[in-house]
Amino acid sequence: MIDCGGPPCMNGGRKSDSCECDCPTPWSGEDCSECDIKCIHGTLDEATCQCTCDDGWMGLTCSEPCENKHQLCYHGWYPNWCDDEHPYVLDNCPAMCELCKISTGGDTRPGNCRKRCKNGGSLQESACECECPDGWFGDDCSLECRDKFHHCQWSTRLCDNRDYARHYCPVSCDLCSPPLDITE
């Protein structure tokens, strides 16, 4: 091993065979004491050389929008999968996993559920699901809750096929509640 002498490398840097400091990102300079980061949408902490991102931004320089990158976030991959056992969820769903905060019209909230519920449905943001009023169902409350096949009420076998039941027998298969008939 070569004895290089001179000032030691700082911030985790190590002397190379040529006695120069090899600096880890984001440090640079002769002794790894210079911070190379410029925060685009955030504030730099010079002591740690890390950005604290403004709401709506993420990444090393706060230049990436805070949003989920995969269609399975909330729809196949769920918030309780935001752990070390599911690293692909953490990588692809940073907003859902609350690794950053999004900004919507001045309001800041974790996640990036942008679903809109139709026909008076209300959005449950934590699960990114619509709670539909009686008479409606579906991912966005756009499907009318009524049986469309005359054998729905007496053939429970139809309910085994979720796709068929969803489209033709949602009332008989208990997928939704029909609207209340108010007749006096």
What is the rounded CA–CA span in Å between residue 177 and residue 132?
9
What is the rounded CA–CA span in Å between residue 21 and residue 46?
20
In a domain, 9, yes or no: yes
Q: Where are the alpha helices (DSSP H) in 16-144?
A: 87-92
Contact 127, 73 (CB under 8 A): no
In this prediction, residue 150 carries a pLDDT of 77
Predicted TM-score (pTM) of the model is 0.51
What does each C-alpha distance from 146 to 65, 87, 91, 175, 182 come to in angstroms? Answer: 42, 42, 41, 10, 16
In this prediction, residue 111 carries a pLDDT of 58
pLDDT above 70: percentage of residues in the chain: 88
Contact 105, 96 (CB under 8 A): no
Residues 47 and 110 in one domain: yes
Residues 99 and 141 in one domain: no
Q: Which residues of 88-121 are buried (b: 16+ CB within 10 A; e: fewer)?
A: ebbebbbbbbeebbbeeeeeeebbbbeeebebeb
Lowest mean pLDDT: which of 3-7, 61-65, 84-88, 160-164?
A: 160-164
What's the CATH code of the domain at 19?
2.10.25
Q: For residue 126, count other CB atoms closer than 10 A to its CB.
A: 12
Residues 51 and 108 in one domain: yes
In this prediction, residue 112 carries a pLDDT of 61
Mean pLDDT over residues 169-179, rounded? 85
In a domain, 123, yes or no: no
pLDDT single digits (tens) 39-64 = 999 999 988 999 999 888 899 999 99
- Per-residue pLDDT band for 110 (boundaries 50, 70, 90) equals low
Residues 63 and 98 in one domain: yes
- Per-residue pLDDT band for 123 (boundaries 50, 70, 90) equals confident
What is the rounded CA–CA span in Å between residue 53 and residue 170?
46
Range of the domain at 145: 134-184
How many structural domains are present in the chain?
Answer: 3
